[in-house]
Structure 1
C-alpha cells in the first residue's frame, strides 16, 4: 500500500527534516530577500527526478513538479520560507545567526517537512498517478505576498486542488485541527498623516492642534467596530504607531499614525474602510486640519472550501489514534495568511498541526521572540499532507 510505504520513508527521513529545519532556522531571511534560503532549497532538488522552476516572478520562490507514471489529477502542496524582523530569545543551540531576524512563525519547519515529503514522493513517482506540485513560497509575511507571484507564473493553471498546513502552538503535535469556510482574517494596512497649524503651547487658540485631532481619531475609530458593524461581524482596528514628538511648549503641526484592520469577510473590510474615510472628513472639519489617508489591502480573508475540507476530515479520521490522537474543529483566527490567494482560484483547504512543546502549560505563540517549534510536529504534518495527496491523486 502506497500510504504505508510513504509513512515508512518519512519515518526513516525524520532526522533529515530536523537537520533541514535547524539549518534554515539559523539563516532567516526577510520577505522578498530569501536568496540563500532559495538556493538551499533549489540545491536539494537539483539532482532529483523532478521539474524544478526557480526565481518565480523574478523573486525567490520555487516550484517542483513531480510527474507520476499514471494518469491522474494534479494536487499542489505549499510551504513558505520567509522570516521576521525579530531578535531571537529562544536560547536554542541552533538559534539565528542573522542578528535581528528570526524564524518566529514556523516557516523553517514548514519548508523542512515539505522538502522531505517531496523527496519521498519523488522516490515513489513511478507508482503515482497524476502530478504533485510542490510550492516553496517566498514572502508570506509581507504584502503583496509571494502567493501572487506563484499564481501569476501560470505553473499552477492545471492544479485541481491545493493544500497547506500551518504549525500553531495552541496544541501539541498529537492534535490536527481544521475549519470550513472563513478561517483566517483578511488584513488591510493604513497610514494617516494629519497636518494642522503649529503654535505656542500658551496660545492654543492661534493653532490647529494635530495631536488633539489625532487623539480624537484614535479614540473614535474604535466606534467603527463597536457601533457601525453588525455585532455578528468580526472586525478589529488597531493603531500600531503614533508619531507626534515635539518640544514641551509647542503645539504640533504634524502627526503620523499607522495601523491595521482585521476582518473575516471582505465586505466587512470594505465597510470599515468607508467608515474610516467618513470619520476622517469629520476630523478635518472639526479641527480645521488636513489629512492624507493611505489604505492598502494586505491580505484577503482565507476561506477554506467545504468539499476539500471534508476530504481532509474523511481522510484523517481513519488515521486518528495512529500518528496523532485528536482531529478537532478549529475556531476562526484573526491572523492572516496569503494562502488565501490560492483558495480564490483553486479549490483547497488550509489546516493546522499543533507544535506546542510538551510539558508547557502555555506556549509562546507565533511571532514571539521566544517561539519554539516542537520538532515532532514536522513528521505529523508530512504524514497528514502525504496521505491527503495520495488520496486525492486517485480521485476522479
Structure 2
C-alpha cells in the first residue's frame, strides 16, 4: 500500500466530510442526521454495518480472515453547546452548537481510513471494526451503551485518536499507563432557614455553612490523599440568594473530582461524606450530597503503546514526531472500551499558530489545521498494516 498516495488522493474528500459535519453539528444523544451522513459515506464499502448500536452509534466490520485477530478503531461524532466564533465558510449553521472538540475530525479520519483499508482488504493482517460513537460529551456517554450493546464482541484490541491543539501538526502524542482521569461530579444542597439580613440570629444561614464547606473541600487533596498520588477537587459553582438583605433558605455548591485510581476516588467520596455530616452538625441544618461517578480513568495497555510507537516511528510520510506527552486530568469515555479489552488512546497534533488553530478545546474559536488529519489517518493505516499480536 502506498500510504502517502492513498491519503493525498483522498484528502480533499476527507476535508469535505469534516467540514460537512462541522457545519451541521448535533448535540449528544441528538445525532440523528450525523449518523445517517456517516452511514451514507460507508454503506457501499464491503463492511458488515450495524446501525443504532447503543443509541445513535454505528459499527462496521471488515472481515478479512476468520482466523485473524480483530482490531477496533473508534471515532466520536457529537458536538457541544457552544456558540461558534470562527469566521470560516463551514461555520456551524446551528445557533449555540459547534464542534469545539474535534469530533468532526475524528469521524472524517475514520471514514477515510475505512475507505482505504477496504480498498486493500486482501493485504491486511487483521480484521477491523470501525466504531462511530455518539455522545462522548455527556454522561453516561455513548461508549458505555455501545459496549453494553455488544460492540466489542469478537474484538481483541482497540485504538482511538483525539486531535489536540496543544501539539503541532504532524505530532503523535502517546502516554503509558493512565491517559485520562475519571471525571466525577458532585452537588451539595444546603438547606437552612431564611430570614432578614439584619436579624441573622433568627435564621440558619446556608451561605455561611456553604463557605465553610468550600474551604473544607479544599483540604481533601492536601490532607487526605497520598501526595504521591493524583487527585483534583474543584468547586466550580456556588449559588445562593437573590437579594442583598435576605438570608436565603437554600444554597448549592457544585464541582468536579478527578482521580486515576479507584481507591483514591473512594477516599475522596468518603471524606466528602464526612464533611457533609460535619456541616449538618456544626450549623444545625440539612446538607445533602449527590455524587455522580462519571467516566472511568483511561488506562492504556503498555504493550499496545509500544506497538503504536513501533509502527508509527521511522520512515513516515505525515507523522513528523512521535512523543510521550503528559497525562490529562480531562475525562474521556474511551475508558469503557479499555476496561474490556487492551489498547491505547493517543493524540494527533492539529496546532498551527499561523492559522490560529491553537485555541484550547471547548473554546468558541477552536479549530484545526486540516493537514493534521493526514497524520491521524497514517497512524491508523500503519497500526493496522503493521499489526502484530503482543
- TM bucket (normalised to shorter chain) is over 0.9
Aligned to 1:365: 360
Contact 2:241 2:247 in 1 (8 A): no
Aligned to 1:48: 45
Aligned to 1:8: 5
Aligned to 1:271: 267
**Alignment partner for residue 82 of structure 1, among 78, 85, 101?**
78
The yes-or-no answer on 1:31 pairing with 2:28 is yes
Mapped to 2, the partners of 1:225 and 1:104 lie a distance apart of: 31
Mapped to 1, the partners of 2:279 and 2:230 lie a distance apart of: 25
The one-character-per-residue Cα deviations of 1:253-301 (angstroms, maximum 9, x if unpaired) are 1112221111122221121111111011111111111012111111111
Aligned to 2:223: 227
The one-character-per-residue Cα deviations of 1:308-347 (angstroms, maximum 9, x if unpaired) are 1111111112335x42221111111111111111111111
Contact 2:109 2:376 in 1 (8 A): yes
Contact 1:69 1:126 in 2 (8 A): no
Aligned to 2:15: 18
**Alignment partner for residue 369 of structure 2, among 361, 371, 374?**
374
**Alignment partner for residue 344 of structure 2, among 349, 353, 357?**
349
Stretch of structure 1 that moved more, 239-248 or 287-296: 239-248
Contact 1:76 1:134 in 2 (8 A): yes
Mapped to 2, the partners of 1:49 and 1:310 lie a distance apart of: 31
Structure 2: 5+ residue stretches without partners: none
Q: CA deviation at 1:362?
A: 8.7
Mapped to 1, the partners of 2:22 and 2:33 lie a distance apart of: 12
Q: CA deviation at 1:130?
A: 3.5
Mapped to 2, the partners of 1:358 and 1:212 lie a distance apart of: 46
The one-character-per-residue Cα deviations of 1:128-159 (angstroms, maximum 9, x if unpaired) are 34410000000111111111122112231211
Aligned to 1:288: 284
Q: How is 1:319-358 mapped onto 2 (pairs within 5 angstroms)?
A: 319=315, 322-358=317-353
The one-character-per-residue Cα deviations of 1:223-248 (angstroms, maximum 9, x if unpaired) are 11122111122111122222112222
The yes-or-no answer on 1:73 pairing with 2:64 is no
**Partner SS, residue 150 of structure 2:** coil
**Alignment partner for residue 387 of structure 1, among 382, 386, 389?**
382
Mapped to 2, the partners of 1:368 and 1:112 lie a distance apart of: 21
Mapped to 2, the partners of 1:16 and 1:225 lie a distance apart of: 49
